[in-house]
Structure 1
């Protein structure tokens, strides 16, 4: 019988807060009740914002909470060569393209379109979709700009990717924390436009790294926050393109701050280190997050 495998995957770019605690403890609870495995993955592809000091704080907070995980933990920054191999495959298959527009150029393009009466589409997070200009560049011009060392990112050609897959996509979503029933959710990767899958200096992005890591680590159940629900559509597309197994998903409720907004690592009053320093116990944290 295959063991169910869960994972908690924080980014060490700040202190953990109550929302992270809830997600970590829920993954641990589900792994324990199913006699499964719990893995810890450090998602540190952003080598500028992610630091060893923040990672040490993350590990200290998780150990204080009583979280246990299988060793060794996986650090994404140690696996760039693996991500690059997959990126090179997407480049060869012409499913990605180099995108050169700066943020200012994107804003100017969209402003011009809106001045002419055209509403520009936005992704589920409210960010304007990337304009189609670079996708139409001839191969010779793309190569010239890359050789000239112009900054760029690799973006997924979502239209070409969906044509390559050739079928509608969906995923199995659990209905509650008991994981007793699932429903099928239709994936909508077009809602995100041509997302970034890698940068010139970092051969991956969140979307590409997470689907590869979940497959390589044998993750069967992805339990994470509701804020990532829509992004699952992009990840399902990448799984199909790369022939990766599809985990089951549960996007859990978010722990909100006093103002009703999603917690942020910049909100010190909900940080685990601050709460511990104020005298809170691990049991207090469990009560605060409803576990």
Structure 2
């Protein structure tokens, strides 16, 4: 059975970009008689907005986007991530890293696809580790020169050499917060998610997640990364770019707007949002989604 999911972070209220992701993942699941899950990725308390998780769920319901089963909260699943880290530790695939952010920046081997490439001090220099062993470490995953590739249903073939494109990356931060790259893999596997429809901003993370899946012996989902919605300056709509929260008084207009962004034909007049979604399920074709960013008002 097809199992998809929508996995927002409660760092703010839903905006037009997150609505597009929710609707696309919902339509892809329902058009294939699959299950659509909701998971709250609440692993970074300093960045979370009080009340955002409840607001996100009520907004989904207001748009008639009804999920299957119970909502999963990552903040309640630390034991699963710890077990995965232990499994990688027994394979000697992870190591403690005591480097400060300043050290990482100063000793970087270059720029990665989404940051800097770690210089490897703690992977190579045991003396530096013992000298600061009193500090809580981060835990990094060792990478190698193998090419990790996958076929994305929207963006086409993608590949990375993790050793040169990302370097050894963090799975558990020094402050005790779990990294997205580990948590998302563990949760997708535990929930049986086999189709991931999400935003293009996460495309560069996917090879790292596939690598973690391979090391843990987990199945690889099929991926589809949607085009980003941007403002007039070309910035992705987000809390940082002051994306306005969805105006629930304009629900039908907003839903019709994202359906057009997703390549559906102009929808007929309907009696309810549920009817509009039912029509969209019947007309949904993932191959109609264009890969390029969409500038919105």
Query: Would the aligned equivalents of 1:87 and 1:203 in 2 still touch at CA under 8 Å?
Result: no
Task: Please report how far the alpha carbon of residue 256 of structure 1 lies from its aligned counterpart in structure 2 after TM superposition.
Answer: 1.0
Structure 1 residues 201 and 89: alpha-carbon distance in aligned structure 2, compared to 1, 3 A threshold: farther
Q: How does 1:1-291 map to 2 (within 5 A)?
A: 3-110=1-108, 120-125=109-114, 127-138=115-126, 142=129, 145-146=132-133, 148=134, 150-159=135-144, 168-175=147-154, 184-190=157-163, 191-202=165-176, 204-272=178-246, 275-276=247-248, 279-280=249-250, 282-289=251-258, 290=260
2:243 and 2:49 map into 1 onto residues whose CA distance is 21
Uncovered stretches (5+) of structure 1, i.e. residues with no partner: 111-119, 177-182
Inter-partner Cα distance in structure 2 for 1:108 and 1:242: 32
Shift of 1:252: 0.8
1:144, distance to aligned residue in structure 2 (A): 5.9
> Which segments of 5 or more consecutive residues in structure 2 lack a partner in the other structure?
263-297
> TM-score w.r.t. structure 2 length?
0.80
TM-score (structure 1 length as normaliser) = 0.82
Coordinate RMSD, CA, aligned: 2.1
Assess, with a 3 A threshold, how the Cα gap between structure 1 residues 98 and 6 changes in structure 2: closer, same or farther.
same
Aligned residue pairs total: 259
- Residues 29-57 of structure 1 deviation map (CA, whole Å, 9 limit, x = unaligned): 11111111100000111122225511112
2:286: which partner in 1?
none
Asked whether the 8 Å contact 2:43–2:177 carries over to 1, the reply is: no
Deviations 1:149-190, CA, capped at 9 Å, x for gaps: x1421111112xx6xxxx6433232148xxxxxx55334323
